[in-house]
Structure 1
Amino acid sequence: MTPWLHVIGIGDGGLDTLSPDAAHRLAQAEIVFGGTRHLAMLAAHHPAERRAWRSPFADTAADILAARGRPAVVLATGDPSWFGPARWLGTVLDAGEFAVLPAPSAFSLAAARLGWSLEEVRCLSVHGRPIESVLAELSDGARLLLLSEDGSTPALLAARLCELGFGRSRLHVLEHLGGSGERARSSVAGTFDLDEVAALNTIGLECRVEEGVRTYSRVPGLADDAFRHDGKMTKRTLRALALAALEPMPGQLLWDVGAGCGSISVEWLRAAPGGRALAIEPVEARRAMIAENAARLAPSGLGIVDGRAPAALEGLPAPDAVFLGGGLTDGLFPAAFGSLKPGGRLVAHAVTLESEAILLALHEVHGGELLRVSVATAEPVGPYRGWRASMPVTHWHITKQGAS
């Protein structure tokens, strides 16, 4: 199939920097799609129809499909495959219908200016996204490259870094990369003093944690005192077991039913880049704890649902995984398992005899893996130490093979 749509990346130097092939495709185009800034670059005498992106962006799909078969171009910044329209177009058109003609990406240019190796850097964007969406990537010594929303982004990021104990981090602010107005400046987050930052900028971030600030691994099983809670939570050992069975995967959705302080939701989001979680919790004070814990430990991807299952599950998007940890009742499993996508994982914990009886009956009908877990910790007994056992927990997990 010969592509009828070409996605052309533009550097900071504008259309004069296009490759001969890209310039030829643009000259032949009958329709040109792009943002207002890109369309303004076209010469006044260019005969193509100009189509600006609609808001919301997805509404442009109808315009793209209406142009099918005519020579058309999409104008984008840098490499359209790096946080550009190429990925979205792949959901609208067949792969053979469009071709991407990239310019050097802001990430490539920034890495070249800073002397960084791209394979060792996490490349992210806060353009059209909240700054909180990248905060989970912070760790001492990490290097990040970030596409900014506008000129205010570096200062906003510096302020958030200070709030999280990363005030020693250095921000390299690179403006108009590859253009005649290119400029590179740097500042430490705690004393950030760069002003008049251009709207078109990329940030190189060298993360440095302040002395005494506690940081956390993304491996499930955070210490219980990492969370604000009222004692009603899935404790560390059982939480690690639950997350292993839930199998967090990038972009997938978890239902955390009876979420308590949200520890399962938070750890799911930390372990699954781009993941989402819905924490269903009827108690207002615990919903506040969930929000606080997520803000500190997993700032992006969490939704909090006020309600009691199973009624609160109605109308929610279908999950890839479900955790039932807030007490099992009749009718909860059918509602949760019935909504679970094929291949999805369900994990349930029971402490009371009544809940355990429900799990035993479900295991007999549906199979899966059933465990009884008892954890004992060493604690002082007078001048000595002894084992103090916690209440045993029954753990059941199952993978949905097909329609329930």
Structure 2
Amino acid sequence: MPQQKIYLVGAGIEGWEGFGAKALEVINEAEVLIGHQRHLDIFPAFKGEKRELGDLSIMLEFLKGTDKATVVLGSGDPNFFGVARFLLRNLPKERIEIFPNVTSVQYAFARIKEPWDDAIFVSVHGRGLKAAVDRIVAAEKVAILTDAKNSPAAIARELIERGAEGYEAWLCENLGMADEKFTKTDVKGLLEIEASSLNILILIKAWEPTLEQYPVIGIDDEEFASVKKLITKQEVRAVTLAKLQLQDDLVMWDIGAGSGSVSIEASNLMPNGRIFALEKNPQYLTFIRDNLKKFAARNVLLVEAYAPEGLEELPDPDRVFIGGSGGMLEEIIEAVDKRLKPEGAIVLNAVTLDTLTKAVEFLEDHGYTVEVSCINVAKTRGLTEYKMFESLNPVYVISARKGEE
């Protein structure tokens, strides 16, 4: 005997008025109605069994065994950060039929009169905040489903910490209720608002600080704050980024980030990627913070730690740049090798033959195919009426991929 279908029906902002005729028909014919109490209350005259939605595993066991016609009520579109994902993952898809409604996000965008087809959607409800903010900072327009812990104010604090406060903010509270409220502010203004527990936060990019005059790649060395001009020079930086072979949505570790110049230009090249800049030297920390803020490197997260200890909590990398090792090169390569994703790459910059020799030896011992490029740069400098070339120290750019011939 075929199992009964399960109907997922989305409630709209206005309750009864939001249901289509077919959705109301399957509800009227159902024997069991499952949902949060506010959804069950929409149907006071329902004659079948009402079950309040709580523990999803308990609901799942019921649905697996029942032969009763059952409707599960949700908000808006059950496929949009809703219960559908859980049920589709755990039940045969042929048992499930979905009746979507207008989502709270659609409604919010309509009320603030802002198109939403170019927005991204992020939920921090019951999820970690940092991973969500990684997505938020790469977006021009974003709608965020919040919760009590990851509130609009908490999101604002994280954005400000990353130097990403250049958004117009709409706080949309208690949608569809008598006390619904829409507040237009900015990211800093969110810190002063105690938001309702039922809210959606919409952020729209309003400005990008001081970036108009800077290129995506090839920023002049003088633009970066640094210690005694100890920085990966512009020409070497360009070759380093080329050897990293960056793609838009990768995870990159920048170990010994120094002034952060490589991380910042990598950020420009992969705005949807995640970059973790490890630096612990107190001489550099002030400078890297200033640079990350100046260039609005929103998807670069400064990790104040010495490698390899600081790597444990980071997501596995697709690309690793080692600009400084603090005498721990072998230990760093050992730690990176255990975490680097398949098809990943490691790039190191060395200025001494000793570091070059050790790096090549360590990498080859770990099964990497290694290529070394020696970058010799000479730049003109004015000398009375003549121009002469002044040579910079050669830099060895070491690129390594595992298992390649």
Q: TM-score, normalised by structure 2?
A: 0.68
Partner of 2:335: 335
For structure 2, which runs of at least 5 residues remain unmatched after alignment?
none
Deviations 1:132-160 (A, max 9, x none): 5566347xxx555555668x849986997
Kindly provide the amino acid, as one letter, of the partner of residue 252 in structure 2: L
What SS is found at the alignment partner of 1:52?
A: coil
Distance in 1, Cα, partners of 2:373 & 2:271:
29
Partner of 1:78: 76
Partner of 2:369: 367
Distance in 2, Cα, partners of 1:317 & 1:159:
19
Deviation (angstroms), 1:355: 1.8
What SS is found at the alignment partner of 1:371?
A: strand
Deviation (angstroms), 1:214: 0.5
Change (3 A) 1:191 1:346: closer
The 8 Å contact of residues 163 and 292 in structure 2, kept in 1 or not, is answered as no
Partner of 1:57: none
Distance in 1, Cα, partners of 2:298 & 2:210:
16
Distance in 1, Cα, partners of 2:159 & 2:311:
34
Deviation (angstroms), 1:221: 5.3
Deviations 1:298-317 (A, max 9, x none): 456736262333x6556765
What SS is found at the alignment partner of 1:330?
A: helix
Deviation (angstroms), 1:394: 2.0
* Pairing 1:389–2:353 present: no
Which of residues 33, 41, 64 is equivalent to 1:69?
64
The 8 Å contact of residues 249 and 273 in structure 2, kept in 1 or not, is answered as yes
Kindly provide the amino acid, as one letter, of the partner of residue 318 in structure 2: D
Q: How high is the sequence identity, in percent, across the aligned residues?
A: 26
Deviations 1:48-98 (A, max 9, x none): 432326xxxxxx5x4465445256665443334444455566666676665
Distance in 2, Cα, partners of 1:41 & 1:293:
54
Distance in 2, Cα, partners of 1:107 & 1:225:
45
Change (3 A) 1:250 1:113: same
Partner of 1:105: 103
* Higher Rg: 2
Q: How does 1:2-401 map to 2 (within 5 A)?
A: 6-14=7-15, 16-23=17-24, 28=30, 30=32, 32=34, 43=44, 47-52=49-54, 60=56, 62-63=57-58, 66-67=61-62, 69-70=64-65, 75-84=73-82, 86=84, 98=96, 100-113=98-111, 116-123=114-121, 129=129, 136-137=137-138, 145=143, 153=152, 171=169, 186=184, 200-202=198-200, 207-209=205-207, 213-215=209-211, 219=216, 224=221, 228-230=225-227, 231-248=229-246, 252-265=250-263, 268=266, 271-272=269-270, 275-286=273-284, 297-299=296-298, 302=301, 304=303, 306-309=305-308, 313=311, 317-327=315-325, 329-361=329-361, 362=363, 366-382=368-384, 385-400=387-402
Distance in 1, Cα, partners of 2:389 & 2:341:
42
The 8 Å contact of residues 369 and 402 in structure 2, kept in 1 or not, is answered as no
RMSD: 5.2
Deviation (angstroms), 1:269: 5.4
The 8 Å contact of residues 323 and 347 in structure 1, kept in 2 or not, is answered as yes
Change (3 A) 1:322 1:188: closer
Give the number of equivalent residue pairs.
388
Change (3 A) 1:113 1:398: same
Change (3 A) 1:70 1:354: same
Distance in 1, Cα, partners of 2:269 & 2:94:
34
Deviation (angstroms), 1:352: 1.5
